[in-house]
Structure 1
């Protein structure tokens, strides 16, 4: 590969959008308007799609090394560069609104990138290369020097400004290149602000003051959350990452910051994860509750209920845009070469049209999880949603679907889809007293029992000695580990115990990684955390802890997980940072704290 490894990137967020900054000091991904919008820096997916590099001239040469860490309880990243001439720190952040505290974080983010350079020792020559390319690299902006020495970049609907404390910003055709020196004790700030040509103008901030405000905003936010279980540092950091993946205006949590980072280098399973999946809903809510984030859980729940709307005969969409948009139709960006030449690059996600029968069960599990906070009678819209989803499952559970892994080939009778149909009916029965006269718990219970019997009969493969991925299939699937987690079967059930062992033996790699299926090229981190939970629930606490700690070792140097890990090389793969990986960590840590918890 001729570009940074996925694990080389750190994550910045303002809870409106996010950015990725490499160990080399280059910001290679930023979609400033919102997470699922067009990029202005897109070098992550093509060398010509824009970046902003700020690093020592000596970066990458012999004698240069870096160390980096987040400022405590924030997504403000501090990178220290050590060179033969001296050391310098670059602190990067996406600015919080001035004065924002607590749950105001992200509500009115100004869309400003902050970069503050601080001389630590000696005299270090720095290099700046600012090369914006809006609309995923399709636009090359005009660059204009402003009267105050700053820069204006304009192309199509996008306006960017760049300012630096006393550092000239000379235009070199379609970019800014400048070297400057910084000495011990000196501090220089830069800010790049986004605006709309025909709308909101870019905001001007003092970079040093705005950086301090952003640190305070994050830390004040985290101070309101208290987790009392095991692995508190890891849980707290993963909760911060989940907050950073939350679109504050609606409460939706994006599956990942990025699009089209490959599951296998050179492969074509490259998808856009910058949306919010109902499939992840119950796990996300549980993680937010575990991490003591009840307000975030309530806002996510309200977003999902409003996004689903009135339920009809058509399948509920699997995913939505961040403000509840249904149509996120998929297209390919033929002009982008892809990360490490992995094509295609996709924008949008065609899975929104799939039938995935697990979705109502995920949503009803979340309603059940919040039942003590919803009152004795559900309000009108929520009651209609629960009734609609329940009746949809009653009418469709016997159909094949695409399953939780969103296959793009044939429909099948997937095990976990049927299990979640059973879960949906079970939770509906429990919620029936809150649903009014139209609730039909006796009929729902009969359907639940029918589905359960079908799963126990058709899902077990005698020859394999395990529950397999689809009815009649001999193929193991790590999603079978969900059965104890949703209380379908106890982990101590003999057949379930045999399935746990079969998955660990057949899909595990010995280094803590579990693949989704036999031909999956890499370990899927969420599946590894599911296995931790199953082992803990089966009474194998020592094995569960050892596995958990091996999985933790696959995070990058600033505690971030992508979607998958190459079992041969240990390289991170897939979109990053991946919400489900961090959700899995939080839920597994709590299971190790209390194996009996729901």
Structure 2
């Protein structure tokens, strides 16, 4: 059986409408061209028969073959150099920006075109092209039709793809296009794949070499005004670029990850669809965008959240939404896909939207507080109604159990992090009361805030363990306790927090700087590792925080990408990738090391 590429072998391409993953072997194994959460046309990532598009030297990965990869600075345009015994060749991959797109236009009207440009560097290298699209997560095998201009049209169900190269004489096979050719030093060959809905406008036709150059200019122009003044500027700018790549430009929503169902543990079943936008991540995301000097993106994200939540009733606000604000994200298994490395099931949709998550309002109000000066001295009607509605919802429900930050699918509990975010809701509402009109009730809100705080300090602390734990009355240590100083519930210098940080680092930490979420978690959770960095800074241990930060960023793959988790034994990346929260954690930790008490 063909060996599955490691998750860290993949580079990330984006046009801020959709994204693709390209492996070191030159195979594009994931692309959902309609939008991030649409159906794949290349899905080999999750099943060897679900489609791919390989463009690489013949015998890629064999003896004498070496790969070097790097992004063009401040872009998600990826250049892969293959060194072979016969010579060297570069393949540069990108998802095309709209022609002439500049500044904040990136991704608004993306043409949905995948560009691959081959450049001979030395010698004479034989290349192999293998184009095998399988739309609808591998359910469809398209008909292939040769066009008068030499292009190949692949049509199946709702999808039409156009494979084109002016330099290569492509021929359609029964269910794929295969072609071998040689490239010499100085020779440039362009290939592109354009997507369109079958019953809409035809796929865009373009010159891939010219479009690639224009896409680089679009990314550079987009990133140029985003100046970050802090420490680790290269890593922060790159993580900000990744967040831009995960942003669905039409709405401003940030998708949690590009992929679905990459496992937390090989062979495990905690495989979930992360191609949606989580309100729980909202405040951390807003902070990261402001730190990385992306105010336009921050304001668009805030507008998307406000619109998505809508008028608040008795039902809990969902923890996640679709990229255009959809609520019903009902989950189902994709039975035809075997899963990454056989780790099924593959899930489409995410039933966490139906869970009770009491921490969501705290994330939203924390972001409102952060943007208060931008939002004005008196809030407009919709913003005022949202803040009042969220506050009153927490005031009447904070005492209930929920599913917790990690979205447990078992019984509801009184999770520590959820109660702390309920406290944050009431605290921020009190501080914002003068902007909320006559229905504001800061005295009552303050009493509820203080009651929640007393409950957390009394029931969340485990004297025997010398630590806050994951849930009231629990003896299960949980790294989410590191969130308390980050949201200013307790200072890191408080004896209880100092003890908690020490216990978490000792019991859940590793020599590589990684932190597990709980004791039975088989992998380090990248975000928790960056939380520990922040806690150490806030506790006055800056040198240790810096050392830890540098160990963690050293766990990124060769092009600076993080998935959700990292295996403690092998060091390989696990979980959906690239993971927005991991890169958000990096940005916020780098800023904490720059200005310890800015937030």
For 1:366 and 1:324, how far apart are their aligned partners in 2? 18
* CA–CA separation in structure 1 for the residues paired with 2:84 and 2:468: 56
TM-score (norm 2): 0.99
In the alignment, structure 1 residue 4 sits paired with structure 2 residue 5: yes
Deviation at 1:58, TM superposition (A): 2.9
1:336-485 map, 5 Å? 336-485=337-486
Unaligned runs of 5+ in 1: none
Q: SS at the partner of 1:109? A: coil
What residue is the counterpart of 2:51 in the other structure? 50
**Secondary structure at 1:438 match in 2:** coil
Residue number in structure 2 paired with 1:273: 274
Displacement after TM superposition at 1:77 (Å): 0.1
* Number of equivalences: 598
Q: Structure 1: how far apart are the matches of 2:511 and 2:598?
A: 28
Task: Report 1:106-121 matches (<5 A).
Answer: 106-121=107-122
Where do residues 58-137 of structure 1 align in structure 2 (5 Å cutoff)?
A: 58-137=59-138
TM-score (norm 1): 1.00
- For residues 257-288 of structure 1, give each alpha carbon's deviation from its aligned partner in whole angstroms, at most 9, with x where no partner exists: 00000000000000000000000000000000
For the residue of structure 2 that corresponds to 1:585, the secondary structure is helix
C-alpha contact 2:332 2:348 (8 A) present in aligned 1: yes
CA RMSD of aligned residues (A): 0.6
**SS in structure 1 of the partner of residue 438 of structure 2:** helix
Contact 2:291–2:591, Cα closer than 8 Å, also in 1: yes
Q: Hey, what's the Cα distance between the residues in 1 that align with 2:4 and 2:470?
A: 36
Deviations 1:515-544 (A, max 9, x none): 000111100000000000000000000000
Moved over 6 A (4+): none
Cα offset, 1:208, TM superposition: 0.3
Q: Is the 8 A contact 1:58 1:83 kept in 2?
A: no
Segments of structure 2 that go 5 or more residues without pairing to the other structure are none
The residue that corresponds to 2:160 in the other structure is 159
For residues 33-58 of structure 1, the C-alpha deviation after alignment (integer angstroms, 9 at most, x for no partner) is 00000000000000000000000003
Q: CA deviation at 1:387?
A: 0.3
Q: Does structure 1 residue 170 correspond to structure 2 residue 152?
A: no
Task: Tell me the distance in 1 between the aligned counterparts of 2:379 and 2:187.
Answer: 59
Offset of 1:335 from its aligned partner? 0.7
1:276-315 alignment runs, 5 A limit: 276-315=277-316
Q: Deviations over 1:200-247 (max 9, x none)?
A: 321001000000000000001110100000000000000000000000
Partner of 2:234 in structure 1? 233
Is the contact between residue 167 and residue 190 of structure 2 (CA under 8 Å) also seen in structure 1?
no
Equivalent residue of 1:505, what SS?
A: helix
SS at match of 1:407: coil
Partner of residue 31, structure 1 = 32
User: Is the 1:23–1:66 contact (alpha carbons within 8 Å) kept by the matching residues of 2?
Assistant: yes
Specify the SS of the correspondent of 1:128. strand
Partner SS state of residue 5, structure 2: coil
Task: For residues 405-457 of structure 1, give each alpha carbon's deviation from its aligned partner in whole angstroms, at most 9, with x where no partner exists.
Answer: 00000000000100000000000000000000000000000000000000001
Counterpart of 2:181? 180
Secondary structure of the corresponding residue to residue 498 of structure 1: helix
Give the conservation status (yes or no) of the 8 Å contact 2:86–2:124. yes
- 1:467 and 1:231 map into 2 onto residues whose CA distance is 32
